[in-house]
Structure 1
């Protein structure tokens, strides 16, 4: 049986790293993209120890041309079956910083939104020529309703949700599946310094198992934990003032990102 080729961005940390380990079997060839050379080498070694074939690319997802060229080259060698746009950062507010500064907001949009587009655009180009494939975009439950603690992050993830929903029908007609992944709180370095309630938080490994199970079934939406997902969906139907009151917690502190809009100096 031929190996399935899986592309994962953000593979050197967090959910992306956990997904790489989840897919690391002799049945899969992994294309792992990340920025941290040491962490990328580490996850590649762990995946190879599990008999997966691995190719790594040390690329910033904000670098559209470099990422597109790398994806096209790898797809030319072995067609990509599944592309998971997982790279992301978070930034937010605190009592002393009630709004996202402009540079932080633009950085979050550049990585979380445009980085995802930069990933799936070249992958889709090849998949559409073949008439088959599967792309997955990692959103968040924060994309269902703007969180006062992370407005820029919520905005980026809401855009991911809308984009995935918007392209799904047309691509389905071409034989390509589109999955939207919307996790709740997950134990990752991304939120290690987050000072806030994190109900029903899952480990990255558990989140990766849920995601893979959904992707194996080509589910259009993989949202978890279900209780939080259902609660936030319900919240969007209630008066806005109630949602504002429920989610506005002055004691919450989401660290400010040090990233910037472009990957250069």
Structure 2
């Protein structure tokens, strides 16, 4: 039987490319996004690619109750085989700026951290009861070693990296696999906003191929390119002042997210 996937952030970038990649295998897709027009375009592309069925829901991952209803409804129709928590935003600092806008920081944490929790948590009981299922959480190289030009984004991704590691060990005895996806530079609308050197940048379609292959092999960590992942892990063992000094030499502009969050 072809797999059933639920993918958040499916209206563009990696989420869209991954949906199309699975559609080519005839998968059943349940796609979530906030932009109705772009989400509909993704659904149409998936149908054209060969998806056996495509359902869409306009959703904001920050809404915990709504996400619980959506995930539970999707699972009730037909059990979810692979859930991909992909939705996310980026924010950062421009040269000369020393503090991120607090409201943008809180929006980043709400979408990139709480949004991942809101997506994954409702799926766990059903998957565990079936002793079957796979959870994929999209992190970033920015979650491996901090980057001085994007503090909130790094903090958010580091948080979900740790959470994915914890879930993997906790859910393994229940038959649920957890994969952490750690992309390097991928050519998406989000990355296009960042002005910097982007070594080994690949297309979103190529990223989707790598992720799909890694999920099929049940890899606990799907990191690409590997050299960047291991280099950043190695950097974490070096003196912080040394690595920080090197990082500051790069000219990087990460536009502030237009999203706004309250509280926290």
Is the TM-score greater than 0.5? yes
Please give the TM-score of this superposition, normalised by the length of structure 1.
0.96
- Write out per-residue CA displacement over residues 14-61 of structure 1, whole angstroms, 9 at most, x where no aligned residue: 111111111113531001000000000000001011221100010011
Would you say 1:40 and 2:45 are equivalent positions? Answer: no
Alignment check: 8 A CA contact 1:94 1:252 kept: yes
Alignment check: 8 A CA contact 1:29 1:54 kept: yes
Alignment check: 8 A CA contact 1:95 1:250 kept: no
Alignment of 1:115-154 (within 5 A): 115-154=115-154
Alignment of 1:149-228 (within 5 A): 149-228=149-228
Q: Residue 158 of structure 1 aligns to a residue in which SS?
A: helix
Q: Residue 23 of structure 1 aligns to a residue in which SS?
A: helix
Alignment of 1:77-88 (within 5 A): 77-88=77-88
Q: Which aligned runs of 4 or more in structure 1 are off by greater than 2 angstroms?
A: none
Q: Kindly tell me: are residues 216 and 260 of structure 1, through their superposed partners in 2, closer, same or farther at Cα, counting changes over 3 Å?
A: same
Deviation at 1:250, TM superposition (A): 6.2
Cα RMSD over matched residues?
1.1
What is aligned with 1:8?
Answer: 7
What is aligned with 2:240?
Answer: 240
In structure 2, what is the Cα distance between the partners aligned to 1:19 and 1:119? 17
Would you say 1:100 and 2:100 are equivalent positions? Answer: yes
In structure 1, what is the Cα distance between the partners aligned to 2:167 and 2:126? 16
What is aligned with 1:28?
Answer: 27
Deviation at 1:105, TM superposition (A): 0.9
- Write out per-residue CA displacement over residues 98-149 of structure 1, whole angstroms, 9 at most, x where no aligned residue: 2222111111111111111111111112111211110010000110111111
Deviates more, 1:247-256 or 1:4-13: 247-256
In structure 2, what is the Cα distance between the partners aligned to 1:244 and 1:237? 12
Deviation at 1:251, TM superposition (A): 2.9
Q: Residue 197 of structure 2 aligns to a residue in which SS?
A: coil
Deviation at 1:259, TM superposition (A): 0.4
Give the unaligned 5+ runs of structure 2.
none
Give the unaligned 5+ runs of structure 1.
none
Deviation at 1:184, TM superposition (A): 0.6
In structure 2, what is the Cα distance between the partners aligned to 1:246 and 1:24? 43
What is aligned with 1:90?
Answer: 90
Alignment check: 8 A CA contact 1:94 1:251 kept: no
In structure 1, what is the Cα distance between the partners aligned to 2:25 and 2:250? 49
Deviation at 1:68, TM superposition (A): 1.0
